[in-house]
Structure 1
Amino acid sequence: MVNVTYPGVYVDEVSSGVRPLEVASTSTPAFVGVTEMGPEDATRVTSWTEFQRVFGGFISDSFLAQSVFAYFNNGGRQCYILRVVRSDAATASVTVANRAATPVAGIRFAAKSKGSWANYLVLQIEDASADPGNGFKVSVRRQAEAEVIPQNFADTPALETFDNLSCDPASVRFVEAVLARESGLVTARMLDSNKVQKGLYRGGKDPVLPLGDNRSFQINLDGDGFQPVTLPAAAAQADLAGVAQALQTAVKALTKKKASTEKEAFDDFTCAVETVAAAGGSSRLVLRSGTEKAGSSVRIAPALDHDATAQLKLRVSDSVFEDGAAVQRPARATTVQLGDAQKDDIVKDVVPGDDGAADLLPASFGEAFRKLDTVADASLLAVPGEASTEVMNLGTAYCAGRPLKDMFFIGETGRDDQSAAAAAGFRDNLTASSYGALYYPWVKAIDPAGRSREPVLLPPSGFVAGVYARIDAARGVWKAPAGTEATLLGVVGLGREPSDAEHGNLNAKGTCVLRRFPATGMVVFGARTIAGPAEVEWKYIPVRRTAMMLRVSIYNGIQWAVFEPNDEPLWSQLRLNIGSFMTTLFRRGAFQGSSTSEAFYVKCDGDTTTQADIDLGIVNVEVGFAPVKPAEFVVVRISQKAGQASS
């Protein structure tokens, strides 16, 4: 509303009241099954390369990787992967000793996911680049499945490298936090046995005495801040032990500057003389903070006048300083195998990774489906290779039971159900549902794993999901994902070539058959759901999926209406917005009819929303549409026309 205060022309913007609805995603599948590695929560991947990075490659006891490969090759753009893990699977880990004078078990490195894949991960542990006295560096490599790690293995490129790590929980490079946040392969956990030391500062060997007038320096304990220290004149003439005692007394007399600094840092501060046997009996000063904590430290800086750091060999270039967490660092090692290392002075404990041997029962997949409850943008569901009536029944039931009923199951007959009779028997044992489709037979393709020279038999669901995505993008969800344009890319044959008569019988039962035709190759040639007689209006896949798309699109697009005044202005806006959306779809060929009035209707008025509804806070919108159904049977009648006498 414009505030009118002076004579003139005022311009204001007024909303048109139109809130465009967006078409919901219809072709993002969720693939459920066994993978080599990876998280156990639903994870979105947008390419085959990303799948390999997160979930590994092809494995012998699962078809999920092959199906995802086929999905992307057939036009898929993105999908969710839900890894199912056997109950007795184990996570590979290795416990590495710390750097204390008497080493103890310090840090446990573990794989980020269960399975034997991590037994071939190899860690290299080095000093940090920026602060080698306190930090460390971890490189992660993966060897081939061989018994012996090559001697030059450290020269191979690392999969992951993490530099300047710290064992101090207060550090921004704390090893546990960094690996949890940045690594896709390993985690780290500091063990309780890994104790900190008092922060120390070792000077250079053989300080130059007497000090003369150069008796000053600056000291910072536990990050409290630098404070000036001046030794008494008598200390300038003393031997090194006397200088050490005078330095200790002077620092203890200081007062902490920060409330967070522990008083013991100064009260229990020590300075001693250390003999370096390796340097021919040379001596040096060793300064220690009075506290034992990760942030314990001693730092020395030159004084502005009469600086003594050069003579005392306390300059940074002469000295070695370690924070309290320095000894907590894992011991240096060129190769530490994560789940298959031998115990020694460095390796304190090893737990091998294991894929497990327990059977994956249908209930295992049913439980896994529940992890998709919070995934709102997946609209297809497939369990490649786990073809059983129990799994498919669980899948269609889950799709139908979702609050928005926004997911469709792509099923397949069993690998051994190669005959048409077996496929028909498989279909007969399914619970009727319009939220799923059954495909037959399995397909033959060049082995993507490269293990076989001959084409291998693969489940069709990954290929079919790619066809769904390709046709949805090109034509729309209302176009049946079948026909001569629904070619199966990457397929060189079928597990069995059904005859026309067999195809007809299977089609009548609601089984979608894959066929080979001379001009087009292998194609999807069926578009029926496994709906029963009670759901005959939903027997076609595009009709069911169009209704799903409309339901989700309208649901998402009218959220703005919640808590608006429930009266005619709101009703008219709902009619306008939904009607505009439906009109756009009609122009794209989503509905049958020659006009919008024949194609759909939108009602929201006093008839749909009574006063009783208004009192209960309810507004009712009724949307009806005339779906485009596939021309499943094309009948051409040919007759001869009698010849006519020439004139």
Structure 2
Amino acid sequence: MPEYLTPGVYVEETSYRSTSIEGVPTSTFGMAGLTRYGPLPYVLPNGTAVPVPPTLVTSYAEFERAFGDLASPSDDGKANYLAHSARAFFANGGRRLYVARVFPWLRDGEGDIDPAQLDAAFARRALAAPGGGGPVALPVWRARWPGSAGRRIKVTVTRRLGRDRIVVDTVGNAPVARLVGVSELAAVVVLPRGTVPGPRDPIDPATVFVARRGPDRVMGFDDGQGGVTPVDPGTSGYQLELDVTVSSADGRSDTYPQLAPHPGHPRSVYRVLRAADPADDLAQVWLQPVPADATAPTPGQLAVALLDAGSQGYLTDGTNGTDGAALAPDDLLGTEPDDDDPTRPGTGLNALAEIDDIALVATPDIVRMDDAGQIKTATDAIIGHCERLRYRMAIVDPPAESSLSEVRAFRSQFDTTYAALYYPWMQITDPTQRPDPGSAPATLMLPPSGFVAGVYARSDVNRGVHKAPANEVVLGLTKFETAVNVGRQAVLNPEGINALRFFPGRSNRVWGARTMSSDPEWRYVNVRRLFIYLEHSIDKATQWAVFEPNNERLWRNIRQSVEDFLLVVWRTGALLGTKPEEAFFVRCDRTTMSQNDLDNGRLICEIGVAPTYPAEFVIFRIGQWTADAQRS
């Protein structure tokens, strides 16, 4: 009981109700694979690690800004399967997608990332000295993410010169100048009094001064030696600000206005466009400062160099921005996070493991691999990922151009309740190709995982996770690669291969809802996902019970919480039974725990639910009947 030592009146709050259980989201999708560019954990040239978690996008427009367009992400010429899958996911009703970008780093013979090759993955361009003049160390514009897309990024810098910020007053018979309307460390172009710079007039670095407040709180100019120079009444001052526009070949354009060239200013170009934790998390470039042992440029030199760099074209001179090595299964699986080093997060599927909300996962880039052994290994990786985490399900793609026999042979290699396989591939009109006049539009074959994940999400939102994600229309395709008819599905369905079929007048539909399991208890996708939903919700909402006194009061609270939750689930139609007693039971008392369990700190709650199975075979029995006939 609480401790009371001082006499007085104490008012305490308490609760007389059980803790409620809230259902977890079931439609959040996660994918790992190649993209054109985008967020990725990496190491700066100075050795500093930049941890970047998987990125959440809620529309294809957000995905495109973060990870680029539909163009191929590698030199192999194959389609951008992950981007197309993201597009299909949102087109079919998906709402939340986490993307873990995979980049196959160049590695040395021992499997470690080769430091000598690491820098080659990033496009860059060094600034030229102002006016082509003497030796001066200048920063470097660098692509923030690795890959060849960095070679097609252009940085344009323009200037802003405001009104004259030097006000001259007469005190007595002497003119006194004040610098007004500028913040400390702002750059100011100082010219003879009355001189107004034209919009195209070049800026002399020697005329750029830094505003600084003196000991008397009066604003002046930094003298470069720790002191403050008073404002000269015979001068005019115009605040210099920079607008940086970053544009890429796929049409993306970002503008960062009113930046300052001084590194200490709150809106410094160094701060707003830095590598780690910039103002814009999806910024495409960053400005790498000069090395610590080099002489940094003055704000005037930096501003002029940035303005002059606009005529240099794209970010790179053509020697940087490689796409790494060939994709391997280990790249998709990624590395596990280092618990002792927060700057080394997980990558690939292991990065998605850190996101608790994800309920569906896929790796469309498995189909990019040509070797059957690699495809098998990569598929095992995503299945193992789901089995280890328990609360998510994988959507598996068959290999490209699989025949009926080939997809059956592929399916026979796996046995799991945490994955489902869909066949065949989808044909779409290729959005990356513009057809010639009079010719048929170009088409493209895509794996089904992105489309099916969108169908899962749409079904979950509209009906609930207990509804089998089947007999649902698939949007965004022209036709299926292979026509699956009744005879072919009679072969596929018993083996746990979900068919995608076209029905005249009813469009293209998902026509299967089976897992890749040989266990009849977990045959159906919706049953597996319903139990994932129940288990995850109860697990997440009952963490409060850990270390509570293990007695009848705690058992009663847990029973009530679970029963209230299951009652709501039953009312949605997810459980079988005309009354709650037929749909579920919850036991947590002396019948489920022995004294040995109590002595060892174990609380055991037994829960039984009766799931609804899909009506996979709808049978109507019809026979002749007359008034004189007896019904048998």
Query: Displacement of 1:642 after TM fit?
Result: 4.8
Give 2:146's aligned residue: 114
Confirm or deny: 8 A CA contact 1:111 1:187 kept in the other structure.
yes
Aligned residue runs from structure 1 range 255-266, under 5 A: none
Give 2:344's aligned residue: none
Residues of 2 paired with 1:196 and 1:612: CA distance?
Answer: 71
Confirm or deny: 8 A CA contact 2:155 2:315 kept in the other structure.
no
- Selected match of 1:401 from 366, 376, 388: 388
Give 2:401's aligned residue: 416
Amino acid at match of 2:89: Y
In structure 2, the CA distance between the partners of 1:86 and 1:162, relative to structure 1 (3 Å rule), is farther
Aligned residue runs from structure 1 range 498-517, under 5 A: 498-517=484-503
Give 1:521's aligned residue: 507
Query: Displacement of 1:21 after TM fit?
Result: 1.1
Aligned residue runs from structure 1 range 46-57, under 5 A: 46-57=58-69
In structure 2, the CA distance between the partners of 1:615 and 1:102, relative to structure 1 (3 Å rule), is farther
Fraction of identical pairs, as percent = 33
Give 2:114's aligned residue: none
**5+ long unaligned stretches in structure 2:** 41-52, 73-77, 107-119, 162-185, 189-207, 211-239, 335-347, 368-374, 436-440
Confirm or deny: 8 A CA contact 1:66 1:448 kept in the other structure.
no
**1:476 and 2:507 correspond:** no
Confirm or deny: 8 A CA contact 2:138 2:296 kept in the other structure.
no
In structure 2, the CA distance between the partners of 1:69 and 1:643, relative to structure 1 (3 Å rule), is same
Where 1:386 maps in the other structure, the secondary structure is: helix
Confirm or deny: 8 A CA contact 2:576 2:583 kept in the other structure.
yes
Where 1:491 maps in the other structure, the secondary structure is: coil
**1:166 and 2:261 correspond:** yes
- Selected match of 2:123 from 83, 92, 104: 92
Confirm or deny: 8 A CA contact 1:531 1:539 kept in the other structure.
yes
Larger Cα-atom Rg: 1
Over residues 345-390 of structure 1, what are the superposed CA-to-partner deviations in whole Å (9 max), with x where a residue is unaligned? xxxxx7521223x321222212221111211111101112523333
Give 1:33's aligned residue: 33
Give 2:101's aligned residue: 83
Give 2:531's aligned residue: 547
Amino acid at match of 1:142: S
Give 1:24's aligned residue: 24
TM-score (norm 1): 0.70
Give 1:347's aligned residue: none
Confirm or deny: 8 A CA contact 2:124 2:143 kept in the other structure.
yes
Residues of 1 paired with 2:626 and 2:252: CA distance?
Answer: 82
Give 1:602's aligned residue: 586
Residues of 2 paired with 1:624 and 1:479: CA distance?
Answer: 19
Where 2:187 maps in the other structure, the secondary structure is: coil
Where 1:87 maps in the other structure, the secondary structure is: coil
Residues of 2 paired with 1:596 and 1:330: CA distance?
Answer: 76
**1:572 and 2:551 correspond:** no
Confirm or deny: 8 A CA contact 2:290 2:296 kept in the other structure.
no
**1:561 and 2:565 correspond:** no
- Selected match of 2:187 from 123, 131, 134: 131
Residues of 2 paired with 1:443 and 1:196: CA distance?
Answer: 56
Residues of 2 paired with 1:410 and 1:467: CA distance?
Answer: 12
Confirm or deny: 8 A CA contact 2:187 2:260 kept in the other structure.
no
Where 1:478 maps in the other structure, the secondary structure is: coil
Aligned residue runs from structure 1 range 365-384, under 5 A: 365-367=332-334, 368-384=348-364
In structure 2, the CA distance between the partners of 1:511 and 1:119, relative to structure 1 (3 Å rule), is same
Give 1:458's aligned residue: 446
**1:392 and 2:379 correspond:** yes
Residues of 2 paired with 1:98 and 1:127: CA distance?
Answer: 18
In structure 2, the CA distance between the partners of 1:11 and 1:107, relative to structure 1 (3 Å rule), is closer
Query: Displacement of 1:43 after TM fit?
Result: 0.9
Confirm or deny: 8 A CA contact 1:516 1:523 kept in the other structure.
yes
Residues of 2 paired with 1:606 and 1:589: CA distance?
Answer: 31
Where 2:509 maps in the other structure, the secondary structure is: strand
Where 2:95 maps in the other structure, the secondary structure is: coil
Query: Displacement of 1:577 after TM fit?
Result: 0.8
Amino acid at match of 1:178: V
Confirm or deny: 8 A CA contact 1:167 1:329 kept in the other structure.
no
Over the residues paired in the alignment, what is the CA RMSD in angstroms? 2.8
In structure 2, the CA distance between the partners of 1:454 and 1:171, relative to structure 1 (3 Å rule), is closer
In structure 2, the CA distance between the partners of 1:610 and 1:644, relative to structure 1 (3 Å rule), is closer
Where 1:106 maps in the other structure, the secondary structure is: coil
Query: Displacement of 1:573 after TM fit?
Result: 0.6
- Selected match of 2:295 from 167, 184, 195: 195
Where 2:273 maps in the other structure, the secondary structure is: helix
Residues of 1 paired with 2:122 and 2:248: CA distance?
Answer: 18
Aligned residue runs from structure 1 range 7-406, under 5 A: 14-40=14-40, 41-60=53-72, 61=78, 62-88=80-106, 90-97=121-128, 99=130, 102-127=134-159, 129=161, 131-132=187-188, 133=208, 134=210, 137-142=242-247, 144=249, 159-168=254-263, 170-180=264-274, 181-183=278-280, 184-192=283-291, 194-196=294-296, 326-329=300-303, 331=305, 332-333=307-308, 334-341=310-317, 351-356=319-324, 358-367=325-334, 368-387=348-367, 388-402=375-389, 405-406=390-391
TM-score (norm 2): 0.72
**5+ long unaligned stretches in structure 1:** 146-155, 198-323, 342-349
Query: Displacement of 1:610 after TM fit?
Result: 3.2
Confirm or deny: 8 A CA contact 1:96 1:330 kept in the other structure.
no
Residues of 1 paired with 2:516 and 2:477: CA distance?
Answer: 25
Confirm or deny: 8 A CA contact 1:122 1:335 kept in the other structure.
no
Residues of 2 paired with 1:157 and 1:556: CA distance?
Answer: 40
Query: Displacement of 1:59 after TM fit?
Result: 1.9
In structure 2, the CA distance between the partners of 1:499 and 1:126, relative to structure 1 (3 Å rule), is closer
Residues of 2 paired with 1:11 and 1:328: CA distance?
Answer: 64
Where 1:177 maps in the other structure, the secondary structure is: helix
Where 1:449 maps in the other structure, the secondary structure is: coil
Query: Displacement of 1:451 after TM fit?
Result: 4.5
Residues of 2 paired with 1:644 and 1:438: CA distance?
Answer: 52
**1:434 and 2:417 correspond:** yes
In structure 2, the CA distance between the partners of 1:182 and 1:424, relative to structure 1 (3 Å rule), is same
Over residues 379-423 of structure 1, what are the superposed CA-to-partner deviations in whole Å (9 max), with x where a residue is unaligned? 101112523333222111110012xx1110001211210x22222
Residues of 1 paired with 2:404 and 2:54: CA distance?
Answer: 35
In terms of mean alpha carbon deviation, does 393-402 or 431-440 score higher?
393-402
Number of aligned residues: 488
Confirm or deny: 8 A CA contact 2:126 2:139 kept in the other structure.
yes
Residues of 1 paired with 2:248 and 2:513: CA distance?
Answer: 47
In structure 2, the CA distance between the partners of 1:189 and 1:31, relative to structure 1 (3 Å rule), is same
Query: Displacement of 1:18 after TM fit?
Result: 2.4
Where 2:456 maps in the other structure, the secondary structure is: helix
In terms of mean alpha carbon deviation, does 156-165 or 78-87 score higher?
156-165
In terms of mean alpha carbon deviation, does 78-87 or 614-623 score higher?
614-623
Give 1:264's aligned residue: none
Query: Displacement of 1:530 after TM fit?
Result: 0.4
Confirm or deny: 8 A CA contact 2:88 2:451 kept in the other structure.
yes
**1:586 and 2:586 correspond:** no
Residues of 1 paired with 2:129 and 2:103: CA distance?
Answer: 33
Query: Displacement of 1:125 after TM fit?
Result: 3.2
Residues of 2 paired with 1:48 and 1:158: CA distance?
Answer: 17
Query: Displacement of 1:504 after TM fit?
Result: 1.2
Confirm or deny: 8 A CA contact 1:413 1:440 kept in the other structure.
yes
Confirm or deny: 8 A CA contact 2:349 2:385 kept in the other structure.
yes
Over residues 429-455 of structure 1, what are the superposed CA-to-partner deviations in whole Å (9 max), with x where a residue is unaligned? 2x2000000000011222233446144
Amino acid at match of 2:349: F
Query: Displacement of 1:503 after TM fit?
Result: 0.2
